[in-house]
A and B are shown apart, each in its own frame.
Chain A
């Protein structure tokens, strides 16, 4: 740092305390001109204690006769410039600058002073950490700001509108601003010939109506508003004007009273949608456009379709392909794509055809948490497509970044990542290979042990996907990572959803061959069937869990006589018969499947043992109960019951006919 410059800065700071007002004024002006637009200079003057001295100047009573308005103007401008940086704002707040600035704003009668004060307040309000509560609570400030909305002096009205827009961060703040009468002058500004006044009013009305039915209602009471906005979204002189008008209209449409005389919510949203989509394609697209589109189409399949029809997916993909993009733009685009691709296979296909999978994958490892989360949402939407899992998703390296995200300290982020991985872990997925290579099983197993229910759920879910139709080798790996004690604990988990996915995991493990089942029994030290039985008896009203439990038995009963015997010996026969009257047809059908398999002899072997099982079942009254199912309302149940009865009769007449094989494991795909 050059010594002479430092001394100039020191000189100016000293000048702030000079006895004569001319020197003080010159010093204020000098400092202001040094710090405007210059971060380094701001820091230098902050270190020299200039902020406190400037705040002291603002402490003068603006109504006192000896008060110099020129000094107040310069001090307010300097304060505004310091507050335009985060460090500076912190010092301004600590030095008590805001109450003094607010006093100058409300108490001064000098037009130039008020202009400088409201501009400085606008600079303060550009920051997220602006003390909006304090601004609104200070007596006289709100009425003053509302009054300034009608000012014709330079950009005073715009500045007042910008401050009010920043002071709308909660329902209470919005109510206070609307209650102070801001709506009417803001609506009047919409018809101003000056573009900056229109834009400032649009921003303020948009902030005022965001997610707030009461204030939206207050805005909509002005009959001209909707017409004004509809005109602005089409004819607004700049893209930004059109954008802010679109956001405002979109906010208002959400809270349009049902009986609104001229417009329906659907009409307005249909009008906004093409405007936002078109803005996506413009050079230098505003960084909030994709986010606004995402918000508009969220939860509305019709609008999602309309957006896709208007080529929104390709436009968003183009944004992702550009080399230098503001982070908010990227995050919004990814979120919007996640929403558009959440349901429709057609939309996912469109996105993949835009060839941006590498970009989305790269965003999974972005330094910004928001971008990572948005990329993950996007991948989750894509992972719902079996087609993409079989093909394109295997072409990019997904497992490693997603596994890294699954360890994110932010639980929601981690859950999102594990959920995506769980979708990708299914048998036919091209990503499954990657996942196994990167020790995905160990990661899922660790998550299944998490204290957090959402992570436990997704961890178990992931394991059940991995186990689905997998080789014995993979199942052994699962058993190694997840001790039986943990498995048993998951079957007794406090969360019903976790219990259900745990049962699904077991169902998928106890599937296929004798060796698989033998390994599972060994894993549980032969306690598996009891554990499933106990879980079933605790799961009143949980059809999903019941069904999975039934299929564990179905799979077990499809094996050798020894495995059938294990089922017969653990109290299952009576339990199976009790499920014949379950209200859920899937449970009834599974229960009958179990009977079919218990009474079925593979290749006519082990008929002696099976005859004994048939006899035991007969004693429990299985035939009468199956007969009652011959008239079941569900065709599947009816047919299974007929087959089961045939089996029983075959053993009565000593002839073993071929039976059905249990439909072993169930698809673990997420349904939504």
Chain B
């Protein structure tokens, strides 16, 4: 037999679907926790505070620490790496003491920012004093180190093979790595749960599409159930994905 054709698919109308949905009880507390998890992980401190007050959901972490974490992320994103390093060390000195790869990337970013600002003498000095010794202590970083120091060779880095390092995306990358390390140090997941739940929803709908016609959620932002298309004649109505 071939795959399920539309005329053999089970058809579920809006009314029955709603009735079935009502049979599934999702605890409000659990929903709230997913929301809080999202706010906390993504760093929406003010929203988390308000949500805590309104729903009585505990954030599970120190909200002040979130402010710190978001400030640190912003500092890297705006190119102030030194400030970010100081703030991380205030938050938990163990992070940069023990995570040499992360520390190297922050210093790499600092060099990049110095070059971006045209402070070449300072950049050269920084590379010699801070980056070069890293290679001796951590041979695994050597290749990346060489690539970074090579930035100093090009007159216009933006048209060099190393242009990617100067890109804003590189800042984002460094900021994310640091953010994830801080979250891990606080025993938090680097990703909120909500996006995964939505991915699961999309996947489940896709699976179900093979077997049934039912009210789908097509627009995840609106979260509206859409009526299934009216039943066609025999052989009509192909799969709608």
Chain A residue at smallest Cβ distance from B106:
A37
In angstroms, Cα B186 to Cα A153, docked, is: 11
Count of inter-chain pairs, beta carbons less than 8 A: 61
Chain A interface residues (CB < 8 Å from chain B):
1-2, 4-5, 29, 32-33, 36-40, 77, 80-81, 84, 119, 122-123, 153-155, 193-197
Chain B interface residues (CB < 8 Å from chain A):
60, 62, 65, 85-86, 89, 92-94, 96-100, 103, 125, 128-130, 133, 137, 185-187
A sample of 7 inter-chain contacts (CB < 8 A) reads A2-B125, A2-B129, A40-B133, A77-B93, A81-B93, A119-B94, A195-B187
B189 to chain A, nearest CB (A): 9
Chain B residue at smallest Cβ distance from A112:
B90
Chain B residue at smallest Cβ distance from A152:
B62
Q: Which B residues touch A193, using CB under 8 A?
A: 60, 187
A69 to chain B, nearest CB (A): 14
- CB–CB A154/B187 < 8 A: no
- CB–CB A32/B89 < 8 A: yes
- CB–CB A5/B93 < 8 A: no
With contacts A36-B93, A119-B92, A194-B186 known, what are 7 further pairs, Cβ within 8 A? Answer: A5-B125, A37-B100, A38-B133, A77-B89, A81-B97, A119-B94, A123-B97
- CB–CB B96/A37 < 8 A: yes
- CB–CB B187/A197 < 8 A: yes
Q: Given the known A-B contacts A32-B89, A77-B89, are A196 and B185 also in contact in the complex, defined by CB atoms under 8 Å?
A: yes
Select the residue from B97, B103, B186 with max chain A CB neighbours within 10 A: B97
In angstroms, Cα B65 to Cα A532, docked, is: 83
Q: Which B residues touch A77, using CB under 8 A?
A: 89, 93
- CB–CB B86/A33 < 8 A: yes
B94 to chain A, nearest CB (A): 7
Q: Which A residues touch B94, using CB under 8 A?
A: 119, 122-123
- CB–CB A36/B89 < 8 A: yes
Chain B residue at smallest Cβ distance from A159:
B94
Q: Which B residues touch A40, using CB under 8 A?
A: 133
Q: Given the known A-B contacts A123-B97, A154-B186, are A5 and B129 also in contact in the complex, defined by CB atoms under 8 Å?
A: yes
- CB–CB A154/B92 < 8 A: yes
A46 to chain B, nearest CB (A): 15
Q: Given the known A-B contacts A5-B129, A33-B85, A77-B89, are A154 and B96 also in contact in the complex, defined by CB atoms under 8 Å?
A: no
Q: Which B residues touch A80, using CB under 8 A?
A: 93, 97
In angstroms, Cα B220 to Cα A121, docked, is: 50
In angstroms, Cα B99 to Cα A476, docked, is: 63
Q: Which residue from A1, A4, A32, A39 sits with its C-beta under 8 Å from B93?
A: A32
- CB–CB A29/B86 < 8 A: yes
Q: Given the known A-B contacts A119-B93, A123-B94, A123-B97, are A39 and B137 also in contact in the complex, defined by CB atoms under 8 Å?
A: yes
- CB–CB A155/B93 < 8 A: no
Q: Which A residues touch B96, using CB under 8 A?
A: 36-37
Q: Which B residues touch A32, using CB under 8 A?
A: 89, 93
Chain B residue at smallest Cβ distance from A80:
B93
Q: Which B residues touch A196, using CB under 8 A?
A: 185-187
- CB–CB B125/A84 < 8 A: no
B88 to chain A, nearest CB (A): 9
In angstroms, Cα B130 to Cα A1, docked, is: 11
A2 to chain B, nearest CB (A): 6
